[in-house]
Amino acid sequence: MDPVTPAPEIPVELREVRKSFGDKPVLQGVSLALRKGTTLAVMGGSGAGKTVLLRITDGLIRPDAGQVTLFGTHIERMREEAMLPLRKRAGFVFQGAALFDSLSVFENVAFPLREHTSMSLGEITDRVHRSLSVVGLPGVDDLLPAELSGGMRKRVGIARALVLEPEVIFFDEPTAGLDPTNARLVAELMASLREGVCDTAIVVTHDIEFANMIADQMAILHQGRIADIGTPAEMRASSNPDVRRFLAGELREE
Ligand SMILES: Nc1ncnc2c1ncn2[C@@H]1O[C@H](COP(=O)(O)OP(=O)(O)OP(=O)(O)O)[C@@H](O)[C@H]1O
Ligand SMILES: [Mg+2]
């Protein structure tokens, strides 16, 4: 068993995080805190650095400077192997679902269990079926990702993120490429997860309508910094010109 520290009140905290690629600064001092029991939407235009921010938070990318605290532990300079027990406590839904094309739905969802646990096939089967039923997809074990609709692929990606029973979930653009009906279904699924499955999440999205449906807190990332952070109502009332332009659909990166 990994030594598991109790879930802290602030499972995720970033302080003055910076990241450049070559001479291109992407994050230029980002600070934010995710409180247990809340959903934080990080919003911003394409290329604003949302995916980079989420990957830094989960230790998949290292920042150049600043501090990243995951479940009370600094991870910014931690060795990869030392990070695994912490990463196991967070589920990651990748942009575009990122399923393994040659693996069945069952094997895609089972993958984290095979990587991170020594569960028996019976235990794995139970967990995979539980996860698939949470996302409303029973009976699709043997299908390949290519045989699923875009909305179903997103759900399988979410089932895979849930299978280790995480304390926090990171969602990267869970509605990208979905029509409004399927986007609403994902929003309803995320709301239902909060009742007992996982109540704490960071959701990266450029979809304002979706963020309004699911977020307790919204942060707007622009030019490498958080322009403003607050409840959806506070953001709508924000006097920050970048926030106003973003909410009006006028803010573009890249
Ligand atoms: N591994 C990398 N190497 C070089 N540049 C990168 C790398 N990853 C990201 N970038 C650059 O960092 C910037 C931010 O990328 P990121 O993917 O975080 O944007 P985003 O806000 O998620 O955009 P989108 O809404 O299109 O997903 C982009 O200019 C991108 O080209
Ligand atoms: Mg992205």
Q: Is the pLDDT of residue 193 over 70?
A: yes
Indicate whether residue 32 lines ligand 1 (CB < 6 A).
Answer: no
Ligand 1, atom 26: nearest CA belongs to which residue? 46
Please name which ligand lies nearest the alpha carbon of 172.
Answer: 2
Please name which ligand lies nearest the alpha carbon of 254.
Answer: 1
Indicate whether residue 26 lines ligand 1 (CB < 6 A).
Answer: yes
Residues 6+ apart with CB under 8 A from 31: 14, 15, 16, 17, 66, 226
Could you tell me the pLDDT band of residue 5, with boundaries at 50, 70 and 90?
low
**Can you tell me the mean pLDDT for 37-57?**
95
State how far the Cα of 114 lies from the Cα of 105, in Å rounded to an integer. Answer: 14
pLDDT tens digit string along 157-166? 999 999 999 9
State how far the Cα of 118 lies from the Cα of 114, in Å rounded to an integer. Answer: 7
Ligand 1, atom 28: nearest CA belongs to which residue? 47
Which numbered atom of ligand 1 lies nearest the CA of 49?
18
Percent of the chain with pLDDT over 70: 96
Residues 6+ apart with CB under 8 A from 109: 128, 131, 132, 156, 159, 160, 163
Indicate whether residue 160 lines ligand 1 (CB < 6 A).
Answer: no
Q: How many CA within 13 A on the CB side of residue 121?
A: 1
Could you tell me the pLDDT band of residue 250, with boundaries at 50, 70 and 90?
confident
Please name which ligand lies nearest the alpha carbon of 48.
Answer: 1
Q: How many CA within 13 A on the CB side of residue 57?
A: 30
Indicate whether residue 187 lines ligand 1 (CB < 6 A).
Answer: no
For residue 45 the two structure tokens come to: 């235009």
**Can you tell me the mean pLDDT for 118-147?**
95
For residue 122 the two structure tokens come to: 């019976």
